[in-house]
Amino acid sequence: MKNYTLILLFFFLILISGCTKTAEEASPLEGTFTALTYNVAGLPEGINADQHPVANTPLISPRLNNYDLVNVQEDFYYHDVLIKDNHHKYKTKYFALEGGLGDGLNMFSDFLILNFMRTGWEDCHGTDCLTPKGFTYSRVKLTPKAYIDVYDLHCNAGSDSADLAARRANIIQLCKYIKFRSKDHAVIIMGDTNCRYTREGDNIRELLALGFKDPWIELEKGGVLPEQNGVTLADEVVDKIFYRSNNSISLTALEYDVPGDAFLDGNGEWLSDHRPVFTKFKFNVLN
């Protein structure tokens, strides 16, 4: 009887092993997904006269469901409302010290989120120092064979010399972290950079030097990088998306948009003082 049980166990283990291998082999080697970054203006009501988070956050919540991967910034005070009608399977946990607002950075995803970590900026200036702004890192599982690193960030705002210095330091800190944490990885960065390519004193080009591409430059500007001459471009926004491939996963930006019209209230007013930024990506597993 014991021998019969052992034989059954042996065949059961073989069956499980075969099923697992079949599932891995069936893992899609290519696909598409949509990504959105959105500063949701979640400071407490009344701090900014032109922002109305009590009325607008419930309107933002269900609209985020239209995108596979969402990074938000300024998710400070109304997080429970923001996720109330949000149906993404995976969400990062809101975190703030008692009496504080946290960094305002969170991710909502249809894909498994792994190794989520928060890092505060080493430099800040002015009112930006009132909240622990910074960036987040996570490892996102698109398929059993396709993983990418995803960053969310919110850089120091403002345009005086001290603001610019702090923001340049933010970008340098992020680049150093990426070199360490995401060396040779496929990566997507989405967030409120508060940077413009054209602004003298900003150093957002540091990310391009790490091999990242900007879908706005690729798909909207014909691959031509704007001059850093202080002349503001009407179609450039500070909310940006960057991406890069690696030897295992090829990422391609298929579409880019600033879908502001999808985030208006009943009176045609913006739900935030920022516009969301969208990219549709294609991925291919190379090995």
> In this predicted model, what pLDDT tens digit does every residue of 73-83 receive, in sequence order?
999 999 999 99
Residue 212 belongs to a domain: yes
Residue 250 belongs to a domain: yes
Residue 10 belongs to a domain: no
Residue 114 belongs to a domain: yes
pLDDT attached to residue 12: 44
Residue 23 belongs to a domain: no
CB contact at 8 A, 256 and 215: yes
Q: Could you identify the residue written with the tokens 């969301």?
A: 276
pLDDT attached to residue 8: 44
pLDDT in tens, 127-181: 999 999 999 999 999 999 999 999 999 999 999 999 999 999 999 999 999 999 9
As for how many domains the chain has, the answer is 1
Residue 200 belongs to a domain: yes
Phi then psi for residue 43, to 5 deg, are: -65, 155
Q: Residue 171 is part of which domain span?
A: 31-285
Residue 226 belongs to a domain: yes
Question: What is the CATH classification number for the domain harbouring 191?
Answer: 3.60.10.10
Phi then psi for residue 129, to 5 deg, are: -80, -5
pLDDT attached to residue 20: 47
Residues of the chain with pLDDT under 70: 1-26
pLDDT attached to residue 49: 86
pLDDT attached to residue 271: 98
The average confidence (pLDDT) of the chain is: 92
**CA–CA gap between residue 43 and residue 55 (Å, rounded):** 13
Residue 155 belongs to a domain: yes
pLDDT attached to residue 13: 44
pLDDT attached to residue 22: 52
CB contact at 8 A, 208 and 255: no
DSSP β-ladder status, 187-192 and 146-154 = parallel
pLDDT attached to residue 27: 73
Name the pTM for this structure: 0.91
